[in-house]
């Protein structure tokens, strides 16, 4: 039995139906949703710093950049770095009428001209870790100076790149240290809830941070003070190029990356960003070691002055975080040691009693033990010490018992 051609659906109509189905699948919405990595990305983009997203293949780096461009209403230009020649980024020599008099200009590629004509956009350099060293060298001026041949990209163009780790990249290369040091490195991983909700048609919305106009001057001053205070105390952190090839292809400390860090701290402060977001940005710019030191230094910048606490212990507001509270109590005891007076010694005991009443008692054991050794023979024991005596005694007995257990096991 044969079927007449008239009874078969037209191929054109089936493609139209397929097109409609694809259009429905492409209809997605966005919603405001806390996302630390996405917030760090948008803040770095707002700060006009090149960003490099590191992640395994298929993790959603390209999709995130596409959604970011749509959310920010920026035209997206994608350039696969590994399939281009060095001249595509450094410019193609074009002979003019009189090369001896006018020289040979370096013509930019068409995508760069279109970006310059638009005046704004998001340049996405994909597959950066598969670009050979010669191409990486040609990208240096583009990433840092926005220069392509004789053309300079306008300030409205932002640069974001993506790369796979060498272990999972096709014919991958390690990033050269000069190129790596020009980026803010963000590790891009998937969030289970975000993926599930996104496949259901709703993705997180990428929005630029809201900068408080009244905080700009203070944010700049705070950022400069934070970085300069750390580098003044730790001069070796100014320039620390890693010794291994893999680590040199990531974030590491240099005067250039510290300058980028100042900008990121200023933007994060003006935007009221969380500490988690600031941590991603700082560690992604100068590396984990210097980044953690800077974050710790910033935390201590906001600690109350021990002298003010000793002057009015009743009004003292101790930090809630255990490490910061420990640092404050240690600072109070150190202040009494520098200037031992009966009134200051009594005030310190009052602060320790307040710390016990409002937080973890074990944080007070070491400061209380040290403070007790500072007592002069003529000083009477203050009432506040009675609230701490039992606690310190119990803690010391527990330490001795634990030491005996360890000795027995040995």
In the chain, where are the structural domains located?
Answer: 32-94+104-204, 213-301, 306-409
User: Residue 394: what pLDDT?
Assistant: 43
Strand 120-126 versus strand 76-80 pairing type: parallel
User: Residue 377: what pLDDT?
Assistant: 83
Which residues neighbour 140 within 8 Å (Cβ) at sequence distance 6 or greater? 178, 179, 182
| Global confidence as pTM | 0.77
132-145 core/surface letters (b: 16 or more CB in 10 A; e: else): eeebbbbbbbbbbe
User: Residue 68: what pLDDT?
Assistant: 85
Q: Are 332 and 367 in contact (CB under 8 A)?
A: yes
User: Residue 40: what pLDDT?
Assistant: 94
What's the rounded Cα separation, in Å, for the pair 73 and 38?
Answer: 16
* Residues in the chain, overall count: 410
Q: Are 292 and 323 in contact (CB under 8 A)?
A: no
Task: Report residue 162: phi and psi, to 5°.
Answer: -140, 145
Neighbours of 222 (CB within 10 A): 20
H or E element in which residue 19 lies: helix 11-25
E-only strand ranges, 177-273: 184-187, 202-204
User: Residue 405: what pLDDT?
Assistant: 47
Alpha-carbon dihedral angle through residues 141, 144, 150, 154, given to the nearest 10 degrees: 160
Q: Are 30 and 41 in contact (CB under 8 A)?
A: no
H or E element in which residue 262 lies: helix 255-271
* Matching residue, tokens 């403070």: 371
Q: Are 329 and 368 in contact (CB under 8 A)?
A: no
User: Residue 271: what pLDDT?
Assistant: 94
Q: Are 56 and 190 in contact (CB under 8 A)?
A: no
Residue 261 Cα distances to 54, 241, 273, 293, angstroms:
19, 16, 14, 13
pLDDT mean by block of 10 residues, the chain; 410 residues: 57 85 87 87 94 87 83 89 85 68 75 92 91 89 88 92 75 84 92 84 83 93 94 91 87 96 96 94 96 90 86 87 85 90 90 83 83 85 69 48 53
Would you put residue 171 in left (φ > 0), alpha (ψ -120 to 50) or beta?
Answer: left
User: Residue 398: what pLDDT?
Assistant: 40
User: Residue 27: what pLDDT?
Assistant: 86
What is the CA 61 to chain-centroid distance, rounded? Answer: 17
CATH 3.40.50.300 applies to domain 32-94+104-204: yes
């Amino acid at each position: 039995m044969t079927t007449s051609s008239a009874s078969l659906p037209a191929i054109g109509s089936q493609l139209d139906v397929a097109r409609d189905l694809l259009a429905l699948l492409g209809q997605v919405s966005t919603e405001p949703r806390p996302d630390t990595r996405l917030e760090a990305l948008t803040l770095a983009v707002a700060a006009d710093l090149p960003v490099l997203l590191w992640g395994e293949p298929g993790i959603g780096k390209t999709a995130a950049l596409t959604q970011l461009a749509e959310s920010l209403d920026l035209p997206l230009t994608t350039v696969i770095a590994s399939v281009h020649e060095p001249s595509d980024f450094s410019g193609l020599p074009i002979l003019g009428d009189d090369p001896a008099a006018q020289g040979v200009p370096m013509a930019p590629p068409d995508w760069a001209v279109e970006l310059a004509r638009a005046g704004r956009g998001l340049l996405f350099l994909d597959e950066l870790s598969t670009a050979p060293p010669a191409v990486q060298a040609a990208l240096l001026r583009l990433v840092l100076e926005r220069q392509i041949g004789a053309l300079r990209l306008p300030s409205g163009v932002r640069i974001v790149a993506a790369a796979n780790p060498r272990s999972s990249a096709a014919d991958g290369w390690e990033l050269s240290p000069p190129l790596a040091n020009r980026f803010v490195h963000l590790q891009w991983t998937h969030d289970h809830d975000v993926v599930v909700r996104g496949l259901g048609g709703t993705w997180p919305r990428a929005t630029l941070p809201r900068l408080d106009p009244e905080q700009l001057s203070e944010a700049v001053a705070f950022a400069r003070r934070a970085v300069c205070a750390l580098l003044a105390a730790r001069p070796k952190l100014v320039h620390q190029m890693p010794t291994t090839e893999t680590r040199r292809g990531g974030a590491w400390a240099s005067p250039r990356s510290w300058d980028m860090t100042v900008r990121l701290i200023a933007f994060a402060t003006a935007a009221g960003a969380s500490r988690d977001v600031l941590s991603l940005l700082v560690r992604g710019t100068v590396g984990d070691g210097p980044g953690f030191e800077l974050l710790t230094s910033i935390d201590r910048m906001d600690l109350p002055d021990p002298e003010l606490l000793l002057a009015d212990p009743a009004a003292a507001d101790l930090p809630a975080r255990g490490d910061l509270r420990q640092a404050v109590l240690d600072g109070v005891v150190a202040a009494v040691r520098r200037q031992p007076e009966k009134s200051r010694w009594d005030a310190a005991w009052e602060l320790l009693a307040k710390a016990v009443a409002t937080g973890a008692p074990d944080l007070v054991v070491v400061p209380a033990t040290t403070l007790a050794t500072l007592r002069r023979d003529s000083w009477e024991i203050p009432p506040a010490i009675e609230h701490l005596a039992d606690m310190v005694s119990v803690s010391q007995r527990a330490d001795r018992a634990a030491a005996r257990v360890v000795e027995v096991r040995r």
